[in-house]
Each structure stands twice: as structure tokens, then as C-alpha cells.
A = this chain, B = another copy of it.
């Protein structure tokens, strides 16, 4: 039995998985303080006698093995979890190996091993919701370096006539600041799911997401891009994004994969299970 934890800013999803990925048991909790949230999670994993735990966690995380704060959640705006040693605490409590990566890197790994990108060594998973996160596999491995991809915060060119100030407390008008769920709510005065009958909302959203995807293509030349998250529940958005990406590329990337964008920029294939399956895969590796 392998333990998997999808640690999100709003909720914690704990699961116990069999070797084939079948979920044997599951526990979902709201994310409160570590003192309130850690004990029931530990109890769940202890009860199931997990042999190892894989965590896909909201970031930023310290994943640099040479660092004294390796395995910590670092400069998160969720102050209770700031510089919290989540890997260390689980190791101590469970006495089993614990591995961690970002929630989106785990989702990318899940889709690469079992979903839309099965068998691909180079792919990107993008989620557009409360924030914009990207998980990335290059040459079959998750991208790290000194931290992990944080492409939600890349600079974007504002669209003509768009004077919205942006929603990101760090960078204002970065991709996330212009196009994540909270930016949509602030810009249009209603949450994304109440804006479905306003085509101008989705056209503008598509333009910004296309800039992010353009940067992804130029940075990683992935073999496929999976685009998910709550904002993508609007069914017009994905086709609009593809059209905008095609226009932005301007014929510059000549690869055949990029000529068929409906097979290149795709929806997730694993519902909302990709991150848990990615956690399991992280343990296996």
C-alpha cells in the first residue's frame, strides 16, 4: 500500500493506493493550520500501514537536497504553513520513506504515466484555477534546479485596451495576475462560472493563456500540453486557446506536432486523479 497526499491550499486529499493505482481508501480534509490538519492525516496513513508516502504539495517548496530546508514548504502566502517541514514531520510520524514534489509536477507525472501524455518524455501540465500552475517533464524527469517551475508568474504583454491592474501581490500583471480565477472575478465582477454567456471574457482569457503556452512551447518544446483546472470548465475556452496559440506562433515552430493543435493542447485524461497517481509514481521512482 502506497500513501498519496495531494496537499492543496483549500483541501488535503489523502489516499491509499494499491500497486495498480486503485484507490483503496480516501480522506478529504479542509486545509487549516498544521496543528489541526496534520494529526488526522497521519492517523489515516498509520491506520493503513502505508509503506511509503508521496506528496504533491502547493508551493513554493524547497526541493534542493543540498539545502538545510529541503522538504519544507517555503514562502507561501498561507502563513501557517510558511517554512513548515512537511516531509520531515511525515517521516518522523510514519517512519517510512516520504517523497514530495509540487502538486502540478505530480499532476504532470500522473498524466505522463497514465493519462493524456502516456509514454511521453517531455510534457507540460497546466492548471488554471485559483492560481496558474505548471508541472513539467523534460527528458522523462520533473524539472527542478534550485526550485521548480513557477510559470504562473511569467511576464505577459497586456492586450490592447486592457488596463486591468492585475491580481498578483508579487508581480501585478504577470500571467496569473491577469488570467487566474481571482483576476477574472475582479476584472469582470463575477466568478468565472457565472461569466459563461459573455464571449469577450473567454476571448481575453484565451489570449493570456496562449501567451503562457507560447512561452512553454518555446521553453521546453514539449510533446504535448495538458490544460486543466476550474477555469477550463468553460467549454469554449480550450478551442479559443488553440486558435490564439496558432496565431502567436506565427508559423515559427515548424514541428508536425504543432500543426495539429487539437492533439497537442489537450484536456486532462484522469479527471482529478492525476496528482494522486503522480504521487504514487513519485514513490515508485
User: Which residues of A does B touch, CB under 8 Å?
Assistant: 60, 62, 64, 67, 74-75, 121-122, 136, 138-139, 141, 143-151, 153-158, 170-171, 173, 211, 214-216, 218-223, 248, 250-258
Q: Which 4 A-B pairs have the closest CB atoms?
A: A145-B221, A122-B145, A147-B221, A75-B254
Complex Cα–Cα for A222 and B146 (A) = 6
Contact A64 B255, beta carbon cutoff 8 Å: yes
Docked CA distance A4–B144 (Å): 31
Contact A145 B220 (CB under 8 A): yes
Interface CB pairs A-B, < 8 A, 13 = A74-B254, A138-B139, A145-B223, A146-B253, A147-B221, A149-B219, A149-B221, A150-B221, A151-B215, A151-B218, A154-B214, A154-B218, A216-B219
Q: Which residue of B lies closest to A143 (CB)?
A: B138
- B156 close to A155 (CB less than 8 A): yes
Q: Collect the chain B residues with CB atoms within 8 Å of residue A149's CB.
A: 218-221
Taking a contact as CB atoms under 8 Å apart, the answer to whether B157 and A253 are in contact is no
Query: Bound state CA distance, A144 and B138, in angstroms?
Result: 8
> With A138-B139, A154-B214 in contact, do A221 and B146 touch (Cβ < 8 Å)?
yes
Other than the given A146-B223, A147-B255, 12 more pairs (CB < 8 A) read: A60-B254, A64-B255, A122-B145, A138-B143, A139-B144, A146-B222, A146-B257, A147-B221, A150-B218, A154-B218, A155-B157, A170-B251
Of B146, B171, B222, which is within 8 A of A145 by CB?
A: B222
> Given A155-B156, A257-B146, do A171 and B219 touch, yes or no (CB 8 Å)?
no
B144 and A221 within 8 A (CB): yes
| Chain B residues whose CB sits within 8 angstroms of the CB of A171 once the complex forms | 248, 250, 252
Given contacts A252-B75, A254-B75, contact A219 B151 (CB under 8 A): yes
Cβ-defined partner of A146 (8 Å) among B157, B214, B250, B255: B255
Cβ contact within 8 Å between A155 and B251: no
Query: With a CB–CB cut-off of 8 A, which chain B residues contact A214?
Result: 154-155
Distance between Cα atoms of A214 and B168 in the complex (Å): 15
Chain B residue numbers with a CB within 8 Å of A75 are 251-252, 254
